[in-house]
Amino acid sequence: MKHVFSNDGKAALKAVMTRRPLLAFDFDGTLAPLVPNPQDAQVPQSVQRRLAGLAARVPVAVITGRAAADARARLEFAPCRVIGNHGAEGFEDLPSAAYRAAMDGLRALLRAAPADVREHGLMIEDKAYSIALHYRMARDRDAALAFVRALVKRLPAPLVVSYGKLVVNFTAPEAPHKGDALRRLVAEHACEAAVFIGDDDNDEPAFASAAPDWLTVRIGKHSPASRAMFFLDDHAQMAMLLQDMADALPP
Ligand SMILES: [Mg+2]
């Protein structure tokens, strides 16, 4: 994987920006720096301003693990779409009754063990279409993760479990992932290509689903197994990359 500011990265960026691309971004760790409490996450002004400029010229979407309304409230521009819950929220045909029932199984387990949830410092983020269990605040993170793994074994209906940065996400088996959402948005907006930028393992389905002439960027240097084409060192380079995107757009 090469740096997106390398010569190859610059050439790929220039090529994709001339093809009426959809620009899609993960939120936490990508547009907003990661913070100890997810409720405090904020998009820096340098990033907000450039996103607004891009959104005036091409479709700009956010595809996030957050609830869509939560992410939208943190943006100071109007994206063409905010897709929440890792791809499951924002399209009209979801969720089904079976989907809701599967999620209710996890809610029941959590409700039945309030003392364990408290003891392990778990923060439950119920986003209707998916549930995230954060253990960032846990005094003993290994013990908290072991508790969550034990919980997974007791689920009454199978859920898709994905392990992120100090968070475990639960969605229903039929839930679309970020890659499904990205492909759908490209078709919906009749775009010829896409750019997708994310920072975490749950962004990998979007990297993997990209066509070879799209552009995918993973933030962070240490992801050798990533399917993204390019990387950025860290979130602080986002404003610079957005500026390069704007500069590469045909007038
Ligand atoms: Mg992220």
Structural domains of the chain ordered from first start: 2-92+176-248 (3.40.50.1000), 97-171 (3.30.70.1020)
Q: What protein residues have CB closer than 5 angstroms to ion ligand 1?
A: 26, 28-29, 199-200
Q: pLDDT at residue 45 above 80?
A: yes
Q: pLDDT at residue 21 above 90?
A: yes
Q: Cα–Cα distance between 250 and 21 in angstroms, integer?
A: 11
The lowest-confidence range among 17-31, 91-105, 165-179 is 91-105
Q: Cα–Cα distance between 130 and 135 in angstroms, integer?
A: 16
Q: Which residue has the higher pLDDT, 92 or 4?
A: 4
Q: Specify the pairing of strand 21-25 against strand 60-63.
A: parallel
pLDDT of residue 247: 97
Q: What is the Å distance from ligand 1's center to 29 Cα?
A: 5
Q: What is the Å distance from ligand 1's center to 133 Cα?
A: 15
DSSP states of 147-174 as a string? HHHHHHHT-SS--EEEE-SSEEEEE-TT
**Confidence at 97, pLDDT banded by 50, 70, 90:** confident
Neighbours of 162 (CB within 10 A): 20
pLDDT of residue 174: 82
The lowest-confidence range among 34-38, 49-53, 149-153 is 34-38
Q: What is the Å distance from ligand 1's center to 26 Cα?
A: 6
Q: pLDDT at residue 212 above 90?
A: yes
pLDDT of residue 52: 98
pLDDT of residue 46: 98
Q: Is 108 exposed, middle or buried (0-12, 13-18, 19+ CB in 10 A)?
A: exposed
pTM, rounded to two decimals: 0.84
Q: What is the Å distance from ligand 1's center to 153 Cα?
A: 26
pLDDT of residue 99: 84
Q: pLDDT at residue 95 above 80?
A: no
Average model confidence (pLDDT) for the chain? Answer: 94
Q: What is the Å distance from ligand 1's center to 178 Cα?
A: 11
pLDDT of residue 81: 96
